[in-house]
Structure 1
Amino acid sequence: MKNWLKLLPFWVPGLLLYAGLFIYPTITGFYYSFTNWDGLSPSYQFIGLENYVTVSQDIVFQKSLINNLKFMVAVVLSQSVISLLLAVQLTRQSKAIVALRALYFLPTILSSVSVGFIWTFIYDPTLGSLNGLLELVGLSSWTHNWIGDSTIAIFSIAAVQAWAHIGQMVILFVAGLQSIPKELLESARLDGAGRLGLFFRITWPLLAPAAAIVVSYTTIQSFKAFDLVFTMTGGGPAYSTEILSTYIYSSAFMSYTFGRAATGSVFFLALISFITFLQFRLLRTDRISY
């Protein structure tokens, strides 16, 4: 009891900040999802589940949900796999390796808006360097209107998202790989284990906690890619890159239907929580013993 009282001054400030910046806004947003508040009027009405019915039947919301799931799968798979492959090659300690880690991490320090503008120019169908490079190497048939074609626009933005954040995931994977006891790896090699056997029987099971963090963090990033999508396409063409965060923004600040925006936020929070829970359960980090 005395120890608990001694620690009280340390955790109360953090709890107050958490309550003021997360718990209270979450509860308030959940409450507004049952109202018809427009975000400006001092008065509003309680309308029950009407917003939930309206939003769930909204074609644009349905498209944004499907687009967000496509975006999430593309980003999580590409970013996790590529960052893991790079991390395996960057576990050694040398000046060149440290320089490469810094190089891969460099895009992470750029703002998403800057990244969006840079890649919008790269993807430009007439002046962009990507199509220019493809034509230069004789792959003119591969040139495309990368963010103007509704069939591939969401995946083009997903590639940019992965490029911008792979460096973060590489650092996490490198830390996880370096924490694996070298004695285990040496013992397995002496027993005749090959590279694939070492990876799947020793490295991957011990790396699963780091992988769980990478996958869950990447998932949350993919749902919070508002600034990148808004900068590059604004949700177009024909809502093909509309995701949940841009849908919420449009409902709140373009249509002034804050009640529906709050409802979209509730769906947003529930979906992220459910997907993250499934990921942690599938990776089974709680069953890993060292």
Structure 2
Amino acid sequence: MSSTRSARSRRAWRALWWFPVPALALYLFFFAYPTVQAVQYALTDWDGYSADYNSVGLDNFGEIATSDDVFANAAGNNLKLTITVVLAQTALALLLALYLVRTTRSSTLLRALFFLPTVLSSVSVAFVWRFVYDPDGGLFNSALRGVGLDSFQSVYLGDPDQAVLWLSLTQVWFHAGQMMVVFIAGLQAIPRELYESAELDGAGRWARFRHITWPLVAPATGIVLAYTTIQSFKAFDLVLGLGGNPPGPALDILSTRVYTTFSNNEFGYAAAQSLVFMVMIALLTWVQRRALRRAA
């Protein structure tokens, strides 16, 4: 009897090893293999069509680092977008979550209202906000004219110094509700007894937030920071919808820059740009996680 159970147990354990195989196969086929190919192409001058191409070593990476002003501009725009969106969206999402964490009829309705933009497509959001930013008949300028504040009108996306900020506003409006849900889940996991004990000890709202809420919501904050960072680097369709294809220098970010380079049949150089792009996201996410751990 014991030998039969042992044999069944061994068969069960062997069967368990097959469960990760589908996910591993998808990962290898759709991520690992394309990444290896990108590394190979990044060391060449392949145009994407010719059967022959030359090996150029690290020349593509050297050009990106030293003489590609267009890529540097896109990287600068992307960093501005990322910093603005990460700070504003995280703060807004946490603030909304703190006010809507209690499950009531009104809070449930407001959660759905704030989450609604997330289910919209990026293209539809971009076209709606193009109307909002239109300097001639757009919502913002029309509202300002209606209340006699003509001096505050702007060209919005047409202003090179402000374009990234208006893009950031659209991105925050688009995804703050989604990040709010993550924070609400983290807040609801905090035991209520901790707040009750702190309140009995005379701790105020700020003290309870600083010593209970913030440390215990750190895992949710880490998810929000990482996801928001990736979102801001991948705001490809939103940028094309707002700024056209290709977007102007004021709205050009790394994802649109890589896409434009591919479109220009510079596959080898675009592959090098995409690898630099990937490394930048990884480094920035790592720095965020380190900073969050120290802050908590």
Alignment partner of 2:157: what SS? Answer: coil
> Is structure 2 residue 38 aligned with structure 1 residue 8?
no
TM-fit CA distance, 1:43: 2.0
| TM-score normalized with structure 1 length | 0.95
Instruction: Find out whether 1:71 has 2:96 as its counterpart.
Output: no
Say which of 25, 29, 39 aligns to 2:34: 25
Q: Does 1:281 align with 2:284?
A: no
Aligned length: 285
Match of 1:146, as an amino acid? Answer: Y
Deviations 1:33-77 (A, max 9, x none): 001111111221111011111222211001001000000011101
Matches within 5 A, 1:161-172: 161-172=171-182
Q: Which residue of 2 aligns with 1:205?
A: 215
1 CA distance for matches of 2:149 and 2:217?
A: 39
> What one-letter code is carried by the residue in structure 2 that aligns with 1:28?
Q
The equivalent residue for 1:80 is 90
Task: State how 1:105-254 maps to structure 2 within 5 Å.
Answer: 105-234=115-244, 236-237=247-248, 239-253=249-263
Instruction: Tell me if 1:44 matches 2:50.
Output: no
Query: In 1, distance between residues paired with 2:256 and 2:158?
Result: 18
Q: Say which SS state the counterpart of residue 51 (structure 1) adopts.
A: helix
Unpaired segments ≥5 residues, structure 2: 1-8
RMSD: 1.5
Task: Identify the residue that residue 104 of structure 2 maps to in structure 1.
Answer: 94
Q: Which amino acid is the alignment partner of residue 277 of structure 2? A: F
Distance 1:46 1:242 in 2: 29
Contact residue 239 and residue 247 of structure 2 kept, 8 A: no
Deviation at 1:5, TM superposition (A): 2.2
Name the CA distance, whole Å, in 1 between partners of 2:180 and 2:85.
14
Distance 1:232 1:98 in 2: 32
2:150 partner letter:
S
Deviation at 1:7, TM superposition (A): 1.3
Query: For 2:274 and 2:80, how far apart are their aligned partners in 1?
Result: 19
Give me the identity figure in percent.
47
Corresponding residue SS for 2:54: coil
Q: Distance in 1 between matches of 2:240 and 2:270?
A: 17
**Structure 1 gaps, min length 5:** none
Q: Tell me, in whole angstroms, the C-alpha distance in 2 between the residues paired with 1:190 and 1:81.
A: 28
Distance 1:236 1:15 in 2: 37
> d(CA) in 1 for partners of 2:62 and 2:119?
41
Question: Of residues 44, 60, 73 in structure 1, which corresponds to 2:70?
Answer: 60
Deviation at residue 4 of structure 1 after TM alignment:
4.8
Q: Does 1:257 align with 2:266?
A: yes
Task: Tell me, yes or no, if the aligned pair for 2:122 and 2:238 is still in contact at 8 Å.
Answer: yes
1:272 aligns with 2:284: no
Which residue is equivalent to 2:3?
none
* Per-residue Cα deviation, 1:181-224 (whole angstroms, up to 9, x for no partner): 00001000000000000001110000111001101100000000
Q: Give secondary structure in 2 for the equivalent of 1:147.
A: helix
Q: Which amino acid aligns with 2:175?
A: H
Distance in 1 between residues matched to 2:106 and 2:94, nearest whole Å: 19
TM-score when normalising by structure 2: 0.93
Letter in 2 for 1:177: L
Letter in 2 for 1:43: D
Q: What letter is aligned with 2:74?
A: S
Structure 2 Cα separation of the partners of residues 139 and 101 of structure 1: 33
Amino acid in structure 2 at the alignment position of 1:41: S
Distance in 1, Cα, partners of 2:103 & 2:125: 30
1:45, 1:92 → 2: CA distance? 62
Amino acid at match of 1:87: A
